[in-house]
Structure 1
Amino acid sequence: MKQNSEGKVVIIGGDAAGMSAASKIRREQPNREIIVFEKSQYTSYSACGVPYYISGTVETFDELIVRSPATFRQKYNIDVRTEHLVLSVDPENNRINILDKKADKTFWENYDQLLIATGAKAFCPDLPGTNAEGVFGISTLKSGINLERYLEEKKPRKAVIVGGGYIGLEMAEALLIRGLNVSLVNRQPQVMNTLDPDMGAMVSDAMRNLGVSLYLGEELKAFSVIDGKVSGVITDKRTIETDIVVLGMGSSPNTDFLKGSGIALGMRGAIKVNGQMQTNLPNIWAAGDCAETLHLVSKMHVHIALGTIANKTGVVAGSSIAGEKAIFPGVVGTAVCKVCKYEVARTGLLERDLQKLGIDYATATITALTRAHYYPGAKNITVKLLAEKNSGRLLGGQIIGEEDAAKRIDVLATALTHNLTLQNIMDLDLSYAPPFSPVWDPVQTAARKLINDI
């Protein structure tokens, strides 16, 4: 344990990455001064859990909070200051400019070491009617609380979701559970642009089966408003009547306040960092959804906003600040999503990624059962694999099914992380019993088919 207590650590952002870093520094340096500035009133919460709070699966928003600001202050001696918005960073003078939202005043705070963990911000289009009552973006715990209160108080019957990504699909499930008539608008021809189009089409069909009205290949143009309240969503093809709108149009790194600071930005405006999460400037680190990371398959820098990455990079940044030699190796882009009874999972690269990189590849898609054919309750599951021709190296995978897609994707994520081939996957000693899998697991069945193809 390192006992050096010299120097003040200032952290911008009090959610996954920021508080993981703060906790790590405190463990290694018990006497170090740590100050965290968080623009909201909450710290260390699960933004991924917001749709399940909206649906009622999680009863109270307090259950989504891992540790409160008071807990960090009293138990861990971390000076968390909520409702403090950082306006700018001045690296030349080792200081940041902050707005105290409650007192409505600004001040400067000096630092010896600085961690930027400001996360990502939801995209909000600058279109007529965006600020109307009943239009919600979902990116923070507070935004989720506001939406849940609106649902309780106003009792809307029709909802339109704009965007067909993870948030859009999870919010569609939440609002269906609450009994609303749900429509979804997406400018792409299928939902889930993080899947290949053929797999995305399967998810689109699944959503229609659940009762969601899909308007695909349509671009949002404006919102119709009556007496200050949203009454419709206007696309380039139609107007859809609604009582409430949820925006799920993606997010971007929350780094606008860094303009002019000299901190280098990269992919989609995310902060460039090395393996220790250090920026191009001395004594400044970045972690979480505001930072770039390395994709282990493409070897390109990417921006992927996920809680798993935020927590891991936060720990690495905290270790680095505390003087340890921790390294974050990178990601393979693994993600999962649940829409009622359907599980959607992906990892690695898509066909369009491989085409851009000029990699000669082959694909195979199979549909199999999740259990032995004679065991009750077996469900269909579809697995698509992408592999490099000649070498057989796995490049990506996508799985859709009614059970166990989410965990089977972890086999492929492990294979990608360790550069395994299709033959390596076939050789894996995966578990088998009739209630859990056929003798040939669907992942291995897909690998077997693709080996035959290439």
Structure 2
Amino acid sequence: MGAGYIGLEVAENLLARGLTVTVIEKLDAPMGAVLDSDMASAVVDAMRNAGVDLRLGTSVTGFTVSDGRVTAVETEAGPVEADLVVIGLGVRANTELARAAGIAVGESGGIIVDEQLRTGTPHVWAAGDCVESRHRVTGRGVVMALGTHANKQGRAAGTNIAGGEARFDGVLGTAITKFQQLEIARTGLTEHEAAASGLDAFAVTTEASNRAGYYPGAQSMRIKIVAERQTGRLLGAQIVGGEDAGKRIDVLATALWNGMTVQEMGGMDLSYAPPFSPVWDPVLLAAGKAAAEV
């Protein structure tokens, strides 16, 4: 149940064990909370081509249990027989203890902290999946339950509790995963999120190769860039593709962290050799296409 990060990873590994796998997702696309639907279509193809019975737009209503064991998942479209059910529906911040202690909780549902991870209550710090972080693109408070954020926050909080000085400067939601050979990554805002945030944004999508086309093992990737229409400011990016596609998101995340425009990105000095990239790296191609729209 659920076609997010955990759902994909579990489905892949159960397939590798030779099991028959059904994935039920309430949204109309896998990874629907982190990818736009046009990018998620590659994930749909990869899952179904691998043999996953992927049921999108389907809500779970309950379970059939016999002798203490689940025998089926009940959905709006009827029951799905099962010997084993893995529930991967995401998480919500549990802030009951903070509320009971009079510690402020933000509209996003996370504990409000400053850049040193201090709450509004003296001598109380908070870090990890329970806190609200500043999104560096929108400036708004968000809860993003990612291990990368939690580790940085824990280090900063611990340093400050021990009398040192450390800051946590916000989040972009940069993340990466894969399903079999398909690599999936994102940073910043999706096109849908940018529109929901009230930004005047546009998006461009490019197809490129992970290495020189004539070099053995060249595989394609799709990069989507979301940018602000008037300024060209980068707002977010998504990547789906073959080998070596996903980690290119880190170049885009670095540009996003530093507030670069797509015009500035088009001239970045990125490395080139045929085993690693075409002469024009896919990131540069994507930035150049976006710059032409500003």
TM-score range, shorter chain: over 0.9
Work out the CA distance in 1 between the residues paired with 2:236 and 2:109: 26
Match of 1:348 in 2: 188
TM-score normalised by L of structure 2: 0.97
Bigger fraction of residues in strand: 1
Amino acid in structure 2 at the alignment position of 1:368 = A
Q: Which of residues 16, 27, 48 in structure 2 aligns to 1:177?
A: 16
Work out the CA distance in 1 between the residues paired with 2:244 and 2:211: 10
Match of 1:381 in 2: 221
1:297 deviates by 0.6
What's the secondary structure of 1:316's corresponding residue? helix
Q: Is 1:251–2:86 an aligned residue pair? A: no
Work out the CA distance in 2 between the residues paired with 1:266 and 1:201: 34
Match of 1:362 in 2: 202
**2:236–2:256 CA contact under 8 A, matched in 1:** yes
Q: Which of residues 263, 268, 279 in structure 2 aligns to 1:423?
A: 263
**1:252–1:268 CA contact under 8 A, matched in 2:** no
Q: Residues 249-305 of structure 1, C-alpha deviation per residue, up to 9 Å, x if partnerless?
A: 001113233342101112443211000000010000001111111110111111111
Work out the CA distance in 2 between the residues paired with 1:255 and 1:246: 25
Identity %: 51
**2:98–2:111 CA contact under 8 A, matched in 1:** no
**2:223–2:240 CA contact under 8 A, matched in 1:** yes
Q: Residues 307-363 of structure 1, C-alpha deviation per residue, up to 9 Å, x if partnerless?
A: 111111111101111222211111111001111111100000112221122211111
Q: Is 1:197–2:34 an aligned residue pair? A: no
Bigger fraction of residues in helix: 1
1:424 deviates by 1.7
Match of 2:7 in 1: 168
What's the secondary structure of 1:233's corresponding residue? strand
Q: Residues 105-131 of structure 1, C-alpha deviation per residue, up to 9 Å, x if partnerless?
A: xxxxxxxxxxxxxxxxxxxxxxxxxxx
Q: Is 1:294–2:95 an aligned residue pair? A: no
**1:253–1:269 CA contact under 8 A, matched in 2:** yes
Match of 1:278 in 2: 118
**2:27–2:58 CA contact under 8 A, matched in 1:** yes
**1:267–1:303 CA contact under 8 A, matched in 2:** no
Amino acid in structure 2 at the alignment position of 1:400 = V
**1:253–1:268 CA contact under 8 A, matched in 2:** no
What's the secondary structure of 1:257's corresponding residue? helix
What's the secondary structure of 2:252's corresponding residue? helix
What's the secondary structure of 2:92's corresponding residue? strand
What's the secondary structure of 1:246's corresponding residue? coil
Which consecutive unaligned segments of at least 5 residues does structure 1 have? 1-161
Work out the CA distance in 1 between the residues paired with 2:275 and 2:49: 27
Amino acid in structure 1 at the alignment position of 2:269 = D
Work out the CA distance in 2 between the residues paired with 1:417 and 1:227: 53
Amino acid in structure 2 at the alignment position of 1:182 = V
Work out the CA distance in 2 between the residues paired with 1:239 and 1:187: 15
Q: Which of residues 75, 80, 98 in structure 2 aligns to 1:240?
A: 80
Amino acid in structure 2 at the alignment position of 1:223 = F
Match of 2:55 in 1: 215
Which has the higher mean CA deviation after the structures are superposed, 274-283 or 201-210?
Answer: 201-210
- CA 1:267/1:211 → structure 2, altered by over 3 Å: closer, same or farther? farther
For 1:25-174, what aligned pairs fall within 5 Å after superposition?
Answer: 162-174=1-13
Work out the CA distance in 2 between the residues paired with 1:238 and 1:342: 31
1:202 deviates by 1.8
Q: CA RMSD in A?
A: 1.1
Match of 2:154 in 1: 314
**1:296–1:330 CA contact under 8 A, matched in 2:** yes
**1:195–1:398 CA contact under 8 A, matched in 2:** yes
Match of 2:247 in 1: 407
Alignment length (residue pairs): 293
Which of 1 and 2 has greater Rg?
1
Work out the CA distance in 2 between the residues paired with 1:445 and 1:306: 29
**1:350–1:396 CA contact under 8 A, matched in 2:** yes
